[in-house]
Amino acid sequence: MTKIMIVDDEPDLREMLNLMMNKEGYDTEIAQNGAEFLNKVEQFHPDIVTLDVMMPGLTTKEILEKLRTKEVNPKIVLLTVIQFSEEEKKKLKQMGNVVQYITKPFELDELLEAVKKNL
């Protein structure tokens, strides 16, 4: 079963995504910040991670850097309220396996398509 890990500091959104992904038939795990994500990621071993860009604690860059030291290599879908410049996108891509950027608030279908596309 495809494993999706949902990382978001916003509980409502996190629950919403978790609910939706379960309903879609994916095995999910949640984390409310970068640190928790990094703790759980090796154990859960997700295929895809939806990662919120603005969370308290570690920044996105720090999370991606640390992820590289782990024994996993999930595909990353970044959820963001800000637009990244091409340059920033390039840098992020070099750091990890970022496959998609989705701007909040997103259309549900957009996100599901992105997940399906990258499985």
Partner 1 sequence: MRDEPDIVKELREAEYLGLFQSKVQGAYEELETQKEASDNVPDETVSFAEDDATEKKERVCDSASHEQTVREPPDSEIYRTLFENVSDEIIYVNKHGKIVIVNRRSYDLFGYKPEEIIGKNFLRLGWFGVRDMPKMLKLFKDAIRGKTIDLLELEVRHREGHIVHVEVSTRPVRKNGKTVGFLSIVRDITEHKQLEMTVREQQQSFIDVSKNIPVGLIIADSSGIITYVNDELTKITGYNADELVGMNGFNELTRPEDKEKYEQIMKRRMGNQPHIKKYERIIVKKDSTEVLTEFITTKTRWNGKICPLAIIRDITEQKKSEQEIRFLKEYNENIIESNPNAIMVVKGNKVEYVNNSFVSIFGKNKNEYISKNLREAISAEIFNAFKEQLQDNDSKIKELEIKGRNFSVNSFVVKKAEEEEEEEERIGILLQDITERKKTEEALKESEEKYKALYRTSADGILIADIETKRFRYANPALCKMLGYSEDELKEMGLNDIHPKDSLEQVISEFEIQAKGEKTLAEDIPCLRKDGMIIYADINTTVTLIDGKKCNVGFFRDITERKKAEQLIIVSEERYRDLFENAHDLIQSVNPDGSFVYVNRAWKELLGYNEDEIVDLNIFDIIHTEKKDHCMETFKRIMSGENIDRVEATFKTKDGGKIDVEGSINCRYMDGKPVSARGIFRDITDRKITEEKLRENEEKYSGFFKTSRDATFITSKEGRMIEGNDAMMELLGYKTKDELLKIGVSEHYENPEDRKRHIQIIEQQGYTKDYSVNLRKKDGRIINTLITSAVIKNKKGKVTGFQGTIRDITEKKRVEDKIRQQNIKLKKLDRVKSDFLNVTSHELRTPMSAIKGYIQMIMKQTLGNITEEQKKALNIVLRNTNRLDNLIQDILDISRLESGTMKFLPNPTDISTLAKEVVETMQSFADTKNIKIQLYLDNDLPTLTIDKDRIKQVIINLLHNAVKFSEPNSNIEVNGWVNSKRVELEVRDYGEGIPEREKEQVFKTFYQVDSGVDRKFGGAGLGLSISRGIVLAHGGNIWVADVEGKGASVQFSLPLKSVKNIEQRFKDIDIFDLKNKDYHMPDFEKIIISRGKHT
Q: How far is the CB of 45 from partner 1 (least distance, A)?
A: 26
Q: Taking CB under 8 A as the rule, does residue 43 contact partner 1?
A: no
For 95, other C-beta atoms within 10 Å of its C-beta total 17
The structure tokens listed for 6 are 């949902």
**Looking at beta carbons only, is 69 or 83 nearer to partner 1?**
83
Q: Taking CB under 8 A as the rule, does residue 99 contact partner 1?
A: no
In angstroms, the CA 9 to CA 27 distance is 20
Which region, judged by CB under 8 A, interacts with partner 1, from 9-17, 31-39, 58-66, 68-76?
9-17
Q: Taking CB under 8 A as the rule, does residue 59 contact partner 1?
A: no
User: Which residue in this structure is represented by tokens 């890990």?
Assistant: 5
**Residue type at position 32:** Q
Alpha helices by DSSP H, listed for 1-119, are 11-23, 34-44, 60-67, 86-95, 108-117
Residues in contact with partner 1 by the rule CB under 8 A? 10, 12-13, 16-17, 19-20, 23, 54, 79, 81-83, 85-87, 104-109
